[in-house]
Amino acid sequence: MPTIEVNYNDLLSLVGKHIPLDVLQEEGILYAKGEIEEIDGEMLKIDIKDTNRPDLWSAEGIARELQGRYGVKLGAPRYEVKHSDLVVEVDGKLKNIRPVTVCAVVKGLNVTPDALSQMIQLQEKVSVTFGKNRKEVAIGVYDYHKITPPIRFTAVKPDGIRFVPLEFEKEMTPAEILKKHPKGLEYAHLLKGMPRYPIFMDAAGEVLSLPPIINSDYTGKVTSATRDVFIECSGFDFRFLNPALNVIVSALADRGGTVESVKVAFPDKVMHTPDLKPKRARVDSDYANRMTGLKLSPKRLCELLGQARYDAKVKGRAIGLLYPAYRQDVMHQRDVIEDIIISYGYNKVKPVMKKLATTGSVREIEKLSDSVAEVMVGLGFQEILSYVLTNRNNLFNKMNAPPQDVVEIENFVSSNWSVFRNWLLPSLLDFMSRNKHREFPQPIFEIGDAVTLDKSRETRTKDIRNMAAASCGNKVGYEYMASVLDALMSSLGLEYELVKAQHPSFIPGRTAQIRIKGKPAGIMGEIHPIVLNSWGLEKPAAALEIGLDGIL
């Protein structure tokens, strides 16, 4: 979830209404799906709980929501878009590199320190979170008066051009930037293997940026003296790019900027962006009341939707809607109903007990999990809880293991959280790698779910319950973990045997398969030095992992 920082007084000036800090903290910020985590003078650190609403990731976006909920402004915000003479020509050579861009110009800005910090923060949050760490959306904002139109979006060879990247003093080629600039090192993988690199440049031959890596230091530096800006979003899919551009442009318009469209000329078509015309939707009032458990008239529903920044009009039992272009999360009536109930107030909804007789009991796997946890704590291990979502690098590369088919999220928000783990041990080593500053040894364990592929099931997946334990320290080895296993099995009243085994994550000759009643139940051994180096662990480690479903 994105965490942002806003200035309290700047936020109130955008809202146009005084909201006491305690009221904002306890009530107001909840309207924007946020929670104030920290207050430092005038600065508020806010955790936004919705990754599908990038329009809320700035002071401007939060202010829009508060304006509606506190009656300052109701209905869908309107943004006028004037026509500019600026043209961006998109080169066909970008087809298999980074082929798509949408652009805008915003003039007449008063770039205060707060406005500048929000602009930079929003640009970064949108490109990293919504834009999948710049893969789908990279955003550039430039001082418009330093640009000579028209602008070309083209491709050059890695050493085909030189310019001064942002915050540097000497010219570098794109290839040099990827090897020496901090942002180049961080995002070089996005251009890996490309024969040419994407470049924005103007008619005077001045480079604007090397997307998705870095802006130039000349045109790409926005300061308090900047009044007019050129904005571009580059990537592969308009589904990501148009909402991202609309979010940035709307925020600047809320700061008093005048929005102008840009003619973007592709090899096969011409577009004018941004398009800030409100979008249309509808909601059935009976369906809304059935989903919420409320009994609200269509008129009352329209009032609540107006507070949520919709234009709402009753049409029989249905309600016709217009909502702002910066929102891309409205895909079903339920998305609209969520906004209705937020306006109404979740705390005002009275819970109703279901009139359904049920018999509940604790699942056997939970009883076993509790028993195992009790034994492990008694053996001096500390329990941790980690995420089921992870990434292929953690599961395979860092574990010195060959890639396997795993359950993957199709439209993941972040590549760091793109697949479901199929075993727990990588999560334990990740935990240790983040706690190297703590005292060793570090005996830890986790009881949690992993997900495997199972074509026999309707979902083609299967949840499994595992227990993994690991310890890292100078005196930790195979014998230590074998004694832990023996104590656990004895406490559970289970007979087991250890059979010599091979596993790429463990040291050969120091690895054993755990068998119960002749069937494989898990793996145990000393962690391979290659794996330790991958996780940055400097001390020996040993670990085990057992499938609790099999034991049950």
Q: Tell me the DSSP string of 176-188.
A: HHHHHSHHHHHHG
Query: CA–CA separation, 419 vs 413, rounded Å?
Result: 11
pLDDT at position 143 over 90: yes
Q: Are residues 166 and 218 in the same domain?
A: yes
Domain-located, residue 74 = no
Mean pLDDT across 24-50: 93
Structural domain of residue 28, as residue ranges? Answer: 3-69
Residue 276, pLDDT > 80, answer yes
Lowest mean pLDDT among 84-98, 203-217, 452-466: 452-466
Furthest-apart CA atoms within the chain: distance in Å? 80
Partnered with residue 107 across adjacent β-strands are 258
Q: Is residue 256's pLDDT more than 80?
A: yes
Residue 416 — pLDDT band, cuts 50, 70, 90? confident
Question: What is the overall mean pLDDT for the chain?
Answer: 93
CATH number of the domain that 65 lies in?
Answer: 3.30.56.10
For residues 219 and 124, membership in a common domain is answered with yes
Q: Is residue 352 situated within a structural domain?
A: no
- Residue 441: asked if its preceding bond is cis (omega within 30°), the reply is yes
pLDDT digits (tens, 9 = 90+) for 278-313: 999 999 999 999 999 999 999 999 999 999 999 999
Q: Are 131 and 209 within one domain?
A: yes
The pLDDT of residue 148 is 95
| 359 in any annotated domain | no
The pLDDT confidence band at residue 410, using thresholds 50, 70 and 90, is confident
* Confidence band, pLDDT 50/70/90 cuts, at residue 74: very high
User: What is residue 350's predicted lDDT score, i.e. its pLDDT?
Assistant: 85
pLDDT of residue 358: 75
pLDDT of the residue at 353: 79
Task: Tell me, yes or no, whether 204 lies in a domain.
Answer: yes
Mean pLDDT of the 485-512 span: 95
- Per-residue pLDDT at 51 exceeds 90: no
Looking at the 3D structure of the chain, how many domains does it have?
4
SS (H, E, C) 188-235: HHHHCCCCCEEEEEECCCCEEEECCCEEECCCCCCCCCCCCEEEEEEE
- Among residues 197, 111, 217, 201, the alpha carbon closest in space to that of 151 is found at 201
On whether residue 357 sits in a domain, the answer given is: no
Domain end, chosen from 251, 273, 295, is at 273
Instruction: Report the CATH number that the domain containing residue 442 is assigned in CATH.
Output: 3.30.930.10
Final residue in a domain of this structure, among 291, 312, 344? 344
- 266 and 321 both lie in a single domain: no
**Would you place residue 401 in the very low, low, confident or very high pLDDT band (cuts 50, 70, 90)?**
very high
Tell me the C-alpha distance between 469 and 18, whole Å.
53
Q: Check pLDDT > 90 for residue 347.
A: no
Mean pLDDT over 421-441 rounds to 93
Whether residue 356 has pLDDT greater than 80: no
Which residue is listed with tokens 């990501």?
240
Calculate the alpha carbon distances from 156 to 119, 134, 182, 210 in Å: 29, 20, 21, 10
Query: Which range among 260-264, 458-462, 507-511 shows the weakest confidence by mean pLDDT?
Result: 458-462
pTM: 0.67
> Which residues have a Cβ under 8 Å from the Cβ of 230 and sit 6 or more positions away?
86, 103, 104, 105, 141, 142, 143, 144, 147, 151, 208, 262
Tell me: do 190 and 133 sit in the same domain: yes
Running DSSP on this structure, what letter comes out for residue 101? E
- Does residue 525 form part of some domain? yes
Region 422-443: mean pLDDT is 92
Say whether both 258 and 149 belong to one domain. Answer: yes
378 and 288 assigned to the same domain: no
Considering the domain architecture, whether residues 21 and 46 belong to the same structural domain is answered as: yes
* Strand pairing category for 197-202 and 151-156: antiparallel
Q: Is the dihedral of CA 297, 299, 304, 309 positive or negative?
A: positive
Residue 551 has pLDDT above 90, yes or no: no
Q: What is the CATH number of the domain that holds 149?
A: 3.50.40.10
Same domain, 55 and 104: no
Interior angle at CA 436, CA 465 and CA 403, nearest 5: 45
The predicted structure's pLDDT at residue 437: 86
Same domain, 212 and 267: yes
321-346 confidence digits (pLDDT tens): 999 999 999 999 999 999 999 999 88
Dihedral, CA of residue 262, residue 80, residue 107 and residue 48, to nearest 10: -100
476, 393: one domain: yes
Is residue 176's pLDDT more than 80? yes
Rounded to an integer, what distance in angstroms lies between the CA atom of residue 181 and that of residue 202?
23
pLDDT of residue 360: 80
Same domain (yes/no): 504, 455 = yes
309 is a domain residue: yes
Q: Is residue 206 part of a domain?
A: yes
Listed residues 311, 344, 377: the one ending a domain: 344
Q: Are strands 461-472 and 444-453 parallel, antiparallel or unpaired?
A: antiparallel
Q: What is the dihedral of CA 21, 302, 276, 24, to 10 degrees?
A: 0
Would the pLDDT of 550 be above 90? no
